[in-house]
């Protein structure tokens, strides 16, 4: 089989039996343990190494929400050309790499379960995002609709658990950065540290209720791992 050509299984959100690899492309492999479980993306360029023992107070891994956090939120997007990084996203991931802290993504994508977003399209979006903001060790996606009652749609903790398993870290050793209360809810239910980076869509009540906030992604990473800002970057 040509490994350069995407091979997609039947619709993953409605599979009648547990799946192993559900998509393999030139850049990554996706797998799903069963229809109620998250989709997990492992880039071919990353072996997802176990995170090193951190300095006191540092997380061993940092997980980011995707839409509205790492990239601009474009509802129902299927076009990689519409991916736009959020302010200081690339700087934040570069700082984590410099600090030796793995980064991942945890994202609700219900359009997969609705049949509006094919897994090949989802992979193309994530490949484009990594080309713009830098590599990620793991991505965990909830493909289910809100009414499906799964355990991985944020604010449920399943995506955090799935990403932590790949990275070989415990949730209490992990931080989750997002832009809405559901992101912090997933962090709290998993036992991880939550950091809110508000944007124009973030409700004022969510910001007030957040245990930790940061003005932008680079500031969030500096607060978590003590990484210095890049000269000329946001402060």
Q: How many CA atoms lie within 13 A of 56 on its CB side?
A: 0
Report the alpha-carbon distance of residue 25 to residue 45 in Å, rounded: 12
Q: Is 129 helix (H, G, I), strand (E, B) or coil?
A: helix
Q: Catalytic amino acids?
A: 65, 67
Q: Is 94 helix (H, G, I), strand (E, B) or coil?
A: helix
- Length of the chain in terms of residues written: 235
């Amino acid at each position: 089989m040509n490994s350069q050509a995407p091979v997609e299984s039947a619709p993953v959100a409605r599979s009648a039996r547990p799946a192993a690899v559900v998509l393999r492309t030139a850049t990554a492999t996706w797998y799903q343990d069963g229809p109620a479980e998250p989709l997990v993306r492992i880039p071919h360029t990353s072996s997802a190494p176990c995170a090193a023992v951190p300095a006191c107070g540092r997380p061993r891994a940092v997980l980011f929400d995707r839409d509205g956090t790492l990239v601009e939120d474009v509802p129902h997007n299927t076009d990689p050309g519409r991916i736009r990084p959020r302010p200081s996203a690339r700087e934040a991931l570069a700082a984590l790499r410099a600090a030796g802290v793995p980064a991942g993504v945890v994202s609700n994508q219900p359009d997969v379960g609705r049949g509006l977003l094919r897994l090949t399209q989802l992979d193309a979006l994530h490949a484009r995002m990594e080309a713009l903001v830098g590599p990620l060790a793991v991505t965990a996606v909830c493909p289910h609709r809100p009414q499906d009652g799964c355990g991985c749609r944020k604010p449920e903790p399943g995506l955090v658990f799935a990403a932590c398993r790949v990275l070989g870290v415990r949730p209490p050793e992990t931080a989750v950065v997002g832009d809405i209360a559901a992101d912090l809810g997933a962090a709290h239910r998993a036992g991880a540290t939550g950091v809110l980076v508000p944007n124009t869509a973030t409700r004022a009540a969510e910001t007030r209720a957040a245990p930790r906030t940061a003005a932008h992604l680079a500031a969030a990473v500096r607060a978590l791992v003590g990484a210095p800002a890049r000269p000329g970057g946001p402060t």
